[in-house]
Amino acid sequence: MHQTTPLRLPKGRLAGIQRVCMRVPLLDLKLQYAPLKAEILAAIEQVADSQHLVLGPQVDKLEADIAAYTGAGHAIGVSSGTDAQLVLLMALGIGPGDVVVTTPYTFFATAGCVQRLGARIVFADIDPLTYNLSPAALEEVLANTSGVKAIIPVHLYGCCADMEAICKIAATYGVPVLEDAAQALGCSHPMGAAGAIAEAGWYSFYPTKNLGAFGDAGMVTCKDASLASKIRSLRNHGMEPRYYHHSIGGNFRLDAIQAAVLNIKLPHLDGWGAGRRERAAFYRRAFARAGLDQVLTLPIEPWSDAGIGNHHIYNQFVVRAPRRDALRAYLSEAGIGSEIYYPLPLHLQECFSHLGYSTGDFPESERAAQETLALPIFPELLEEQQAYVVETVKKFYT
Ligand SMILES: *Cc1c(COP(=O)(O)O)cnc(C)c1O
């Protein structure tokens, strides 16, 4: 991943130069690491000294703390967010002949895991305001599809999907809901913490997620104790006791060093979430002041009425922007990082061509893929940098 440290110059006399030299990276993980460096290195050293390198007490602690933090009944540490979803679907016995419904506007893994197990993916379009699975589209798919074994809403960008409507529809059809909360640890819905509302869910600790490890790591959550023990067994080749295998799992184990880093970072997560929300609020005010809130479509906070403070934790701050690609090039020229999540919806990906979808099947997902842009957001982002982003966007449109 490309990262640069923002250039900091003294205020006052050099302010003009600072403007010329301003760099605003999409994300800068070095700024989060710096104040925690001594603590993190000490924790890593402790794991090194113990030589307990896979699973073990650091993983146990992380699992207990994530379960407590989210209110999930059970939390099982695994090797990545992708593996979390894969092992969960394996534990549920999802495979050939089964159908899984999800959104085509998400990171590839959400659908990739379903395909890897030989189940059939059926997509349902998104809501254009939240970019999350549309309850109406879901209902239509369920009414017309048999063999559906799971519904996977994604809390994209750190914004909770409409879980109340989705769970209600799912209950009508008797289908379990599995939450892809890879981008949404720390995000709350009136029904609970994202990833711990429905039957099961998962988080990713990939470094760019809101709680990032020093490599790959993930976590499965679920309500049912016997499902949890099945997942625990499958993450270690279905082995119980050693070298006796009841079922075919995989190596989805979590490394102790990753858990140790995450154990240091977890107590900071709420503070970082608040920092992201403050920066989102700053963008909102600044774009409105610049008269751009009608030009751009800013992210919405769908559960504000419920008085929930962190229903969107802005893993990404995504706007719809006219002439998106030209804006992105203009920002890049001005030293401002941005990203497109995601440029091609999954139903149009080459590897899913066998599903038989074509352009026009999911118009909201296709439109979002063409119109949206993620702007820099992270807890250490400076107000001057955000003001510069807004000013540069304004220049582009005038
Ligand atoms: C990151 C991500 C994943 C996969 O997580 P990894 O830890 O990278 O395997 C799955 N779904 C979504 C929506 C993601 O953003």
Residue-level pLDDT, tens digit, the chain, 398 residues? 444 444 554 555 545 545 557 999 999 999 999 999 999 999 999 999 999 999 999 999 999 999 999 999 999 999 999 999 999 999 999 999 999 999 999 999 999 999 999 999 999 999 999 999 999 999 999 999 999 999 999 999 999 999 999 999 999 999 999 999 999 999 999 899 999 999 999 999 999 999 999 999 999 999 999 999 999 999 999 998 999 998 999 999 999 999 999 999 999 999 999 999 999 999 999 999 999 999 999 999 887 666 666 789 999 999 999 999 999 999 999 999 999 999 999 999 999 999 999 999 999 999 999 999 999 999 999 999 999 999 999 999 99
Same domain as 228, residue 124: yes
Please tell me if the CB atom of residue 103 comes closer than 6 angstroms to any atom of ligand 1.
no
Please tell me if the CB atom of residue 110 comes closer than 6 angstroms to any atom of ligand 1.
yes
A 10 A CB-CB count for 156 gives: 28
- Domain finish residue from 238, 267, 296: 267
Same domain as 196, residue 64: yes
Ligand 1 atom closest to the CA of 155, numbered from 1: 13
Which of these, 81, 80, 134, 79, lies nearest to 105 by C-alpha position? 134
Q: For residue 53, is it within any domain? A: yes
Residue 154's DSSP bridge partners are 180
Question: What's the pTM value of the predicted model, to 2 decimals?
Answer: 0.94
Q: For residue 378, is it within any domain? A: yes
Q: For residue 58, is it within any domain? A: yes
Which of these, 388, 395, 284, 336, lies nearest to 16 by C-alpha position? 388
Same domain as 337, residue 248: no
Same domain as 283, residue 156: no
CATH number at residue 377: 3.90.1150.10
d(CA 178, CA 181): 9
Q: For residue 4, is it within any domain? A: no
- Residue 241 backbone zone (phi > 0: left; psi -120 to 50: alpha; other: beta): beta
Instruction: Determine the residue of 110, 114, 255 to mutate for testing ligand 1's pocket, defined as the one with the most ligand atoms within 8 A of the Cβ atom.
Output: 110
CATH number at residue 90: 3.40.640.10
Measured between alpha carbons, how far is residue 247 from residues 48, 150, 219, 230, 346 in Å? 32, 21, 21, 9, 31
Q: For residue 3, is it within any domain? A: no
Same domain as 76, residue 219: yes
Give the Å distance between the CA of 182 and the centre of ligand 1: 5
The pLDDT of residue 303 is 75
d(CA 341, CA 107): 8
Give the Å distance between the CA of 196 and the centre of ligand 1: 16
- Domain finish residue from 267, 300, 317: 267
Which of these, 207, 253, 218, lies nearest to 81 by C-alpha position? 218
Same domain as 248, residue 183: yes
Burial class from Cβ neighbours inside 10 Å (0-12, 13-18, 19+) for residue 354 reads exposed
The pLDDT of residue 307 is 65
Overall domain count for the chain: 2
Same domain as 323, residue 256: no
CB 6 within 8 A of CB 28: yes
Ligand 1 atom closest to the CA of 156, numbered from 1: 13
Q: For residue 107, is it within any domain? A: yes
Please tell me if the CB atom of residue 81 comes closer than 6 angstroms to any atom of ligand 1.
yes
Please tell me if the CB atom of residue 216 comes closer than 6 angstroms to any atom of ligand 1.
yes
Q: For residue 22, is it within any domain? A: yes
Same domain as 187, residue 75: yes
The pLDDT of residue 4 is 46
CB 286 within 8 A of CB 386: yes
CB 261 within 8 A of CB 214: yes
Same domain as 112, residue 93: yes
Give the Å distance between the CA of 202 and the centre of ligand 1: 9
Same domain as 237, residue 145: yes
Give the Å distance between the CA of 183 and the centre of ligand 1: 7
Q: For residue 6, is it within any domain? A: no
- Domain finish residue from 218, 238, 267: 267
d(CA 71, CA 150): 22
Measured between alpha carbons, how far is residue 127 from residues 106, 277, 365 in Å? 13, 22, 9
Same domain as 218, residue 148: yes
CB 107 within 8 A of CB 86: no
Q: Range of 285's domain?
A: 11-30+269-397
Same domain as 212, residue 199: yes
Instruction: Determine the residue of 107, 157, 203, 211 to mutate for testing ligand 1's pocket, defined as the one with the most ligand atoms within 8 A of the Cβ atom.
Output: 107
Measured between alpha carbons, how far is residue 243 from residues 232, 236, 240, 282 in Å? 15, 10, 7, 56
